[in-house]
Amino acid sequence: MKTFRRSLGAALLLLPAFTFAQDRFAARNGEISFFSSTPMEDISAVNHKVTSVYEPSTQKIVFTALIKAFEFEKALMQEHFNENYMESSTFPKATFEGKVTPAAGDDLNKPGAHAVTVEGDLTMHGVTKHVTEKGTITVNADGTVKAESDFSVKPEDYGIKIPGVVRGKIAEQIAVKVRIPYAKL
């Protein structure tokens, strides 16, 4: 009887850990893309190797993007992006850690597309800024979840220096799209 009580006690202690583990979603193939448009030139890149974790019970969301994983149409653009602007050898990744807040009365556990506010800390090029953006969390009937957000960033806000010679080729605000397809852990 004593052994049974201990086993039952141990099981009850572990129950929250199992419940918590079931309420997590992860992605290794998320996508972040950006687009800069000026009269002189359009520049775009995409990164298909973004990792992320989303916990619906706490609404916490975290993602990491390796800077060198951004792919450009032209190899020279990619080289300049990594060496001259993002200095990816010194600052190898961009991260976001924050929280998802649904509209008042909305239940993110129900299937469907839900408008959310995403708020947290975006770190890029060694600079961390607190950001608040709009997004969408889509809960699918098959148990998968997708997070999306479109926003813009100013390179100067993150200490990214654009030389005067090429300033006209890079937009002052860079359009960013985040698309993260999650699977349950």
Sequence ranges of the domains in the chain: 24-184
- CA 108 to CA 127: how far, in whole Å? 31
User: Which pLDDT belongs to residue 2?
Assistant: 53
Burial of residue 90 (CB within 10 Å: 0-12, 13-18, 19+) is: exposed
**What's domain 24-184's superfamily in CATH?**
Lipid/polyisoprenoid-binding, YceI-like (2.40.128.110)
Residue 83 per-residue DSSP state: I
Overall average pLDDT of the 150-165 stretch = 93
Overall average pLDDT of the 2-9 stretch = 46
- In 30-60, which positions are buried (b, 16+ CB within 10 angstroms) versus exposed (e)? bbbbbebeeeeeebbbbbebbbbbbbbeebe
Residue owning tokens 């792919």: 71
Residue type, 49: K
User: Which pLDDT belongs to residue 22?
Assistant: 52
Task: With a cut of 80, say whether residue 98 has pLDDT above it.
Answer: yes
The pTM for the full model equals 0.84
**Helices and strands in the chain, H and E counts:** 2, 9
User: Which pLDDT belongs to residue 164?
Assistant: 82
